[in-house]
Structure 1
Amino acid sequence: MPAGAVVLCPAVRQVRGPVWVWLGWAVPVVSLWFPFQVVRDVRAAAVGGRTPSRLGWWWACWLVGLWASNQAASSSLGLASRDPETVPVVEGLATVAVVAGAVLWIGLVREITGGLRAGLAPVA
């Protein structure tokens, strides 16, 4: 859990410990949901309110992008039973998912950063 989120709103429960902020992205299996939980909790501490639907859409785009790129790589290497001619379609899906996810991610980062800056600003 980032220090800013804990300092700003210690009452908001962070589901994952500090080590999972980084390891959650790389450890197999848990990488399918730990990063979402970390971002959700940090956003709740920084901004408050309900979890916005764009957070779920961002995570869905991330997962679709991962799945589609893995499928395209497997097919192009001949490791999958799919026809290699499907690779451009699957790579196109991966590209759309990653671009949409990046746009949503930028919005989330800006929202969280703004909330942290506002909450941690010195009181005059």
Structure 2
Amino acid sequence: MNDDTPQPTVHPALQPVRGAARIAITGLFLVGAAWVARAVWQVRLATTGQPSSGPPDQGNGQHRPLTGLEDGYHIVTSLGDAATLLCAVAFLVWLLRVSDNARALSGQPPRYAWPWVYLGWIVPVMNLWVPRGIVADVHRQSAPGERLPRAVNWWWGLWLAGMVSGVGLMYTDSTDDVIARAYTNVRLLLLADAAVVGAAVAAVLVVRALTAAQERPRLR
């Protein structure tokens, strides 16, 4: 027997990621649908026009009664916020799992410690690049030598566009303020909505790409 025969490399057991990926993808589709619904309602508001009584927020703490269309937009927004929260949880569960797998595959510590999987989204300034860096690091460790999927850059660029627009996933305006903006400048709202929907679609491709990289046979 030739002792110099190369032996197959047995990689460590990995956590299953397919189920988590499916849940994350479902959440991303729900978020995309929620922002499409918002865009439809914003167009309806702009087409109907602002009532003669003015915007919902009258200033000095005064609010007029909402119209049926405005009340419907509040409901659509609330449902979208709930879908976004569920999607965020599902995406983070998937991201933490593939991060653990990537570390097991490479045998090297990640560039960002595990708390950054969560903190990277909320710490000011750091949230401009840390989440993308975590995803890129997972791909590098899971598929060494392979090119980073283009969907990663599309996802992150569109995410940032939606985030900094002021009406995307992290907008600070109240729903009544957004309604007032729909009456006066709906185009900017629709551009922000398009960025969020595009980011959700690109994120689906990212989840599929990284999941596929970790599901390849690891016995060589």
* 2:125 pairs with one of 29, 33, 39: 29
1:43 to 139, 156, 161: 139
- 2:152 is aligned with 1:52: no
Give structure 1 stretches of 5+ with no counterpart. Answer: none
**CA distance change for structure 1 residues 95 and 72 in 2, over 3 Å: closer, same or farther?**
farther
Q: CA deviation at 1:42?
A: 0.6
Separation in 2, partners of 1:119, 1:95: 39
Does residue 1:62 correspond to 2:166, yes or no?
A: no
Q: Which residue of 1 aligns with 2:212?
A: 114
Aligned equivalents of 1:72 and 1:85: distance in 2?
A: 18
Equivalent residue for 1:100? 198
Give me the identity figure in percent: 31
Contact preservation (8 Å) 1:47, 1:111: no
- Runs ≥4 residues deviating over 4 A: none
Q: What is the CA distance between 1:72 and its match in structure 2?
A: 8.4
Q: Provide the secondary structure at the position in 2 that maps to 1:18.
A: coil
Compare CA radii of gyration and give the structure with the larger one. Answer: 2
> What amino acid sits opposite 1:33 in the alignment?
W
Partner of 1:91: 189
Decide whether the 8 Å contact of 1:14 with 1:41 is kept in 2.
yes
Q: Deviations over 1:63-88 (max 9, x none)?
A: 001122167838x639xxx9x712x2
1:17 equivalent in alignment to 2:116: no
What's the TM-score, normalizing by structure 1? 0.77
Point out where structure 2 has 5 or more consecutive residues left out of the alignment. Answer: 1-95
C-alpha distance after superposition, 1:37-62 (max 9, x if no partner): 00110111223312233211111100
Shift, 1:119, TM fit? 5.2
* Deviation, structure 1 residue 25: 0.8
| Alpha carbons 1:72, 1:91 under 8 Å: kept | no
| Structure 2 Cα separation of the partners of residues 106 and 5 of structure 1 | 19
Distance, in Å, in 2 between the alignment partners of 1:72 and 1:100 is: 21
Larger fraction in helix? 1
Sort the Cα spacing of 1:4 and 1:30 in 2 relative to 1 into closer, same or farther, 3 A.
same
Distance in 2 of aligned mates of 1:16 and 1:102? 24
C-alpha RMSD of matched pairs (Å): 2.8
Q: CA deviation digits over 1:6-45, x for unaligned, max 9?
A: 011225x632111101110111221111101001101112
Tell me, yes or no, if the aligned pair for 1:64 and 1:97 is still in contact at 8 Å. Answer: yes
